[in-house]
Amino acid sequence: MPTISVTVARDVTEAIKVPRALFLPWPMGHHFGVPFHRDLQRRVVLAALGLLESSEQPGTILDLPIKWADVRREAKTLTEQGRKL
Amino acid sequence: MTAADPREVGTQLRPGLWHTINERYPGSMIRNESFVPQARLRKPLGASRLTLVSSCGVHLKTDQPLDVCHPFGEFRFMRVPSRAKHDDLIIHQLKYPHDDADLDINVIFPIERLQELVEEGRLGGLTPNFFSFIGYNMDPEKFERTVAEGIAEAVVEEERADCALLAPA
């Protein structure tokens, strides 16, 4: 069964040697971003699915280099705009 | 010299987690000596049926909650209908911050984003059920025998998944 893991703990993922993973430098429990940020959540899901299709080496870990500070700034904007689900 | 803020430089927010877990909970982690081989997709994503598995502890509000007070871990797993929406779901898990996921479940369990990708034809479909459990436990062998093998069997035999998205909370 082809699997893709989305992880915020690169060292744990390296240690347990999963077949392939997408790493986000984000907090635990926030693998797909922040509330109501559909575009970001979608971007992470699509990046994960892309890796599911493309990776060939066991243990591949792809970094999605989006800084948490930038995500937080976008989250603040969303909150100010009063966006809801 | 102060260390660089990982939020600003884009490195793991909680460095040394593997070491910390093994120090605090010796023997609690499943270990592999070699890489798990890669299975490849047998058909394009647009024709594949995807399942979602997460240790985030989410389930229907109408389900008996996962036991967050069990001292050794909860060895049940939950089936989450893939048609469910944020308002149908609740998280019972104490081992990670889920305040944001309580506002929008897609933060840790992107069920609605996956539903949209099916509607757009980017994914062939979703398994009728997704899967969730509490990752914290102190008996990895029992965990593997019950939760891990139970989910794996259900994903293959009952749900007929072609591929799986894993979100270890």
Rg of chain B taking only CA atoms, in angstroms:
17
pTM: 0.92
Distance from CA of A63 to the nearest CA of B (A): 10
Nearest alpha carbon to residue A11 among B19, B23, B108? B19
Instruction: Write the secondary structure of chain A as one string of H (helix), E (strand) and C (coil).
Output: CCEEEEECCHHHHHHHCCCEEEECCCCCCCCCCCCCCHHHHHHHHHHHHHHHHHCCCCCEEEECCCCHHHHHHHHHHHHHHCCCC
Out of B6, B36, B56, whose CB is closest to A18?
Answer: B36
- pLDDT tens digits for B104-154? 999 999 999 999 999 999 999 999 999 999 988 888 889 999 999 999 999
Which one, of B95, B102, B115, lies nearest residue B50 by Cα?
Answer: B115
Band (pLDDT 50/70/90 cuts) for residue A85 is very low
- Each residue's pLDDT tens digit, B91-112: 998 888 999 999 999 999 999 9
Strand ranges in B4-162 using DSSP code E only, listed in sequence order: 49-54, 58-60, 78-81, 89-91, 125-126, 129-132
The answer to whether B5 contacts chain A (CB < 8 Å) is: yes
Mean predicted confidence (pLDDT) in B47-59:
97
Contact B10 A2 (CB under 8 A): no
Mean pLDDT of chain B: 91
Average pLDDT over residues B5-19: 88
Give the closest of B5, B34, B100 to A17, CB-based.
Answer: B34
